[in-house]
Amino acid sequence: MAKTYKDLREFLQTLEEEGQLVRVAGPVNPEPDLGAIGRAAADIKNGPAVLVENIRGYRYSMVTNVHGSWKNHALMLGMDKDATVKEQFEELNRRWDKFPVTPKVVSREEAPCKQNTITEDINLFELLPLYRINEQDGGFFLSKASVVTGDPEFPDDFNKLNVGTYRIQVKDKDRVGIQALAFHDIAVQLEKAERENKPLPIAITLGNTPLVTFMASTPVGYNQNEYEFVGALQDGVPTEIVKADTCDHLWVPAGAEVVIEGYIIPRHRVVEGPFGEFPGSYSGARLQCEIQITRITHRDNPIFENLYLGVPWTEIDYLMALNTSVPLYKQLKESMPEVVAVNAMYTHGMGVIISTKVRYGGYGKGVAFRLLSTPHGMPYSKIVIIVDEFVDPFNLEQVMWALTTRVKPDKDVSLIENCPGMPLDPSSFPAGMHTKMIIDATTPVAPEPNPRETQLLEKPVGSEAWDAVLRDLLKKGN
Amino acid sequence: MICPRCDSDKIKVMVKSPVGDEWEVYVCEKCWFSWRSTETINVLPKFRLDDEKIRNMQMIPPIPPLGK
C-alpha cells in the first residue's frame, strides 16, 4: 500500500525527509519576496517546497511550490521520488479505476480544522500572510484553495457536491472575489441560486492534503465527487471529511489548515483582477462575484499554502500536468483501445501528444479527432501530435525523433480553421476561437502507401547482458 | 491619497499589520485595487481604469434572469 497523508503537515514532513523542502527563517517582506520565492523555486530543476517561517507584519508561516516538481509529485502519490513521469501517469491510471471510494466522516471534535473558531471581527490577515503574487495583479490572491459548493436544487446529493480550484482576490478583511468561469461546475450552481436571488453557501479550504488539491483542479464530471476520487488515488484509503459549521450539505477536508465559510452574494459583480495566469501573461480585469465571509475555523498555528504562477513552468504546470492527461486518456481509451498514453501537460492541455497503435491507415488523425471532441480537448487543445505506440509521449527527445523521422508535412500536417478555443490562450483570436493543428507523426500503415524503409533497428544481440556488466564495472570504480 | 489605478479618492485602510507597526493595506472602494504601504506601485497604463472601462467590462459569469 502506497504512503498516504492525512493532511498537508504529514506531506511537508515527508518532503523534508526526502530533501524536497527547505525553510527560509526570514524575516522576509511580503512583497516582492513571497512571489519571488515561488518563481525561484519553480526555476530550479527538481525544485523544493519552500516554508517561509517569518514574514514581516504577520503571525504565521506560508509554504509555496508544494506541488512544484516531479519529485514532489511522485511523493504526493507515495511513489519513489525518482519515478518517471510516465510511471506516475500509469500509476494514476491504475488507481483511477478504484473510483468511487466513500470518504470517512469524522466528528467535529476529531477534525483538526475545527481547533479554533472565529465568528466576530473576522480578519483574514490575522491568519494568512497575504501577498501580491505578480506585480500587476489587482490585489492579493489565494491561488491554491479547494473551494466546496453544493447544488441548490439537490443539496443532499453528495455526488453533486463540487470541490474545485478558483482564483480568489482578497477585497477586504472579510470579503473576497471569486472567478466562477461559465464552463466550470460552480457556475451551474451559482446560476440556480441567482435565479432565486439566494446566496450560494461556500467553503474555501486552504492547506489540504496534496491529493485533495490535485483532485480540486482535475476536470471530472459534474456528478462525480472529488473526495471519492481522492480515496481512489490513495489506492483505496478513504480521505477524511467533516461537516461545515454554517451549512449542513457542505463537507470540508478534516485536516485543512484553514476553512473560510460564507456565501456568494447573489446578483452582484464588481471589478476583479487583473491576475497573472498560467499562459504566462496577465488576464484582464472583469466584473466578477464576491463572497461574504461569516466564519473561519483553523488549526493551531495555521500554515498558508499558496502557489506562484506565471511564465511556464511554475508550480501550477506540475499540478495540472497529469490531472489533465489522465481524464483525457480515459475518455479516448473508452472508444479507442489502441491509445497507449496521453501527454496533455503543456499549458493545461493546449498542446497534447498522444501515443497510439495505428489500427489502419490514417488512424492517427482519427485519434486526434476524438481528442478534439472531448469536453476539455475541444476548447483547450490547439496543437495535437500523434506518435507511435513505441514512442513515450512524455519524453520530448523521443517525440522530436518521431517528428523528424515520421512527418511528411504535405500529408501529415493538417490545419482546421475557426474551431472552439481557450480565451486565456493569448494567440486565440477572437478570444476563445482558434485554428487546430494536427501533426500525424506515426509510421504509415496500409492502405496508406509507404514507399520507404521505416522498420526500427533491433538492439545488437547481447546488449542487455553488456548493460549489466558495464553497470557493475562502474560501481566498482574501474 | 488617491487610487494608483483609477485616481479615485475613495480609499480606506483595509487593515494594519497584525504584528508590529510594519505596514498598512489600502483599498480603493471604486475599482477594488488594493496595495500595501511598503510596496512600490506602478500600474502600467494598459491596466489603468476609468468609469467607461469599468462600465464596459465583461461580466463573469453573466447574471441570469430572475425565476418566477
Residue pLDDT, tens place only, A114-131: 999 999 999 999 999 999
Instruction: Give the pLDDT confidence score for residue A478 in this predicted structure.
Output: 60
Instruction: Report the distance separating Cα A172 and Cα B32, nearest Å.
Output: 9
Instruction: Report the distance separating Cα A352 and Cα A362, nearest Å.
Output: 18
Cβ–Cβ of B18/A126 closer than 8 Å? yes
Instruction: Report the distance separating Cα A381 and Cα A325, nearest Å.
Output: 12
Of A36, A67, A42, nearest to A313 (Cα)?
A: A42
What does the pLDDT look like over A247-300, one tens digit per residue? 999 999 999 999 999 999 999 999 999 999 999 999 989 999 999 999 999 999
Three-state secondary-structure class, residue B7: coil
The shortest C-alpha distance from A262 to chain B (Å) reads 19
What does the pLDDT look like over A206-219, one tens digit per residue? 999 999 999 999 98
Three-state secondary-structure class, residue B9: coil
Residue with cell 553488456: A466
Q: Hey, what's the torsion of the CAs at A219, A224, A226, A227, to 10 degrees? A: -170
Cβ–Cβ of B39/A181 closer than 8 Å? no
Instruction: Give the pLDDT confidence score for residue A184 in this predicted structure.
Output: 85
Question: Nearest CB to A274: which of B47, B61, B66?
Answer: B47
Nine-digit cell string for A264: 456568494
What does the pLDDT look like over A401-414, one tens digit per residue? 999 999 999 999 99
What does the pLDDT look like over A157-176, one tens digit per residue? 999 999 999 999 999 999 99
Assign residue A295 a region: left if phi > 0, alpha if psi is -120 to 50, beta otherwise? beta
Q: Kindly list the domain boundaries of chain B, sorted by start residue.
A: 11-56
Q: Is the pLDDT of residue A362 over 90?
A: yes
What one-character DSSP code corresponds to residue B46? G
Instruction: Report the distance separating Cα B13 and Cα A441, nearest Å.
Output: 59
CATH code of the domain occupying A335-440: 3.40.1670.10
| ipTM computed for the complex | 0.98
Enumerate the residues of chain A whose CB falls inside 8 A of the CB of residue B27: 139, 171-172
Backbone CA torsion sign across A276, A280, A282, A286: negative
Instruction: Give the pLDDT confidence score for residue A329 in this predicted structure.
Output: 97
Question: Nearest CB to A29: which of B38, B54, B59?
Answer: B38
Nine-digit cell string for A56: 514581516
Q: Across-strand partners of B52?
A: none
> A31 in contact with B at a CB cutoff of 8 Å?
yes
Cβ–Cβ of A30/B36 closer than 8 Å? yes
Q: Does residue A51 contact residue A63 with C-beta atoms inside 8 Å?
A: yes
> A125 in contact with B at a CB cutoff of 8 Å?
yes
Residue with cell 470579503: A175
Of A281, A57, A299, A288, nearest to A171 (Cα)?
A: A288
Enumerate the residues of chain B whose CB falls inside 8 A of the CB of residue A56: 17, 20, 22-23, 38
A 10 A CB-CB count for A366 gives: 17
Cβ–Cβ of A271/B47 closer than 8 Å? no
Q: Is the pLDDT of residue A384 over 80?
A: yes
Three-state secondary-structure class, residue B52: helix
Which of A:183-222 have CB within 8 Å of B? 187, 190-191, 194-197
Distances in whole angstroms, Cα of residue A65 to Cα of each of A100, A107, A345: 29, 31, 17
Of A257, A44, A261, A53, nearest to A147 (Cα)?
A: A261
Instruction: Report the distance separating Cα B30 and Cα A138, nearest Å.
Output: 13
Residue of B nearest to A283 (CA): B47
Nine-digit cell string for A346: 503543456
Enumerate the residues of chain B whose CB falls inside 8 A of the CB of residue A180: 60-61
Cβ–Cβ of A271/B36 closer than 8 Å? no
Active-site residue numbers of A? Answer: 277
Q: Kindly list the domain boundaries of chain A, sorted by start residue.
A: 87-305, 335-440
Residue of B nearest to A177 (CA): B32
Cβ–Cβ of B62/A171 closer than 8 Å? no
Of A274, A298, A295, A277, nearest to A286 (Cα)?
A: A274
CATH 2.30.110.10 applies to domain A87-305? yes
Enumerate the residues of chain B whose CB falls inside 8 A of the CB of residue A170: 34
Q: Is the pLDDT of residue A373 over 90?
A: yes
Enumerate the residues of chain A whose CB falls inside 8 A of the CB of residue B32: 138-139, 169, 171, 177, 270-272
What does the pLDDT look like over A442-470, one tens digit per residue? 999 999 999 888 889 999 999 999 999 99
Q: What is the average pLDDT across A2-9?
A: 95
Query: To the nearest whole number, what is the mean pLDDT of chain A?
Result: 96
Q: Is the pLDDT of residue A42 over 80?
A: yes
Instruction: Give the pLDDT confidence score for residue A423 in this predicted structure.
Output: 84
What does the pLDDT look like over B7-60, one tens digit per residue? 999 999 999 999 999 999 999 999 999 999 999 999 999 999 999 999 999 999
Instruction: Report the distance separating Cα A200 and Cα A267, nearest Å.
Output: 11
Enumerate the residues of chain B whose CB falls inside 8 A of the CB of residue A168: none
Q: What is the pTM of this model?
A: 0.94
Assign residue A133 a region: left if phi > 0, alpha if psi is -120 to 50, beta otherwise? alpha
Cβ–Cβ of A172/B14 closer than 8 Å? yes
What does the pLDDT look like over A60-105, one tens digit per residue? 999 999 999 999 999 999 999 999 999 999 999 999 999 999 999 9
Question: Nearest CB to B23: which of A57, A177, A271?
Answer: A57
Cβ–Cβ of B19/A58 closer than 8 Å? yes
Which class for A354: exposed (0-12), middle (13-18), buried (19 or more C-beta within 10 A)?
Answer: buried
pLDDT tier for residue A221 given thresholds of 50, 70 and 90 = confident
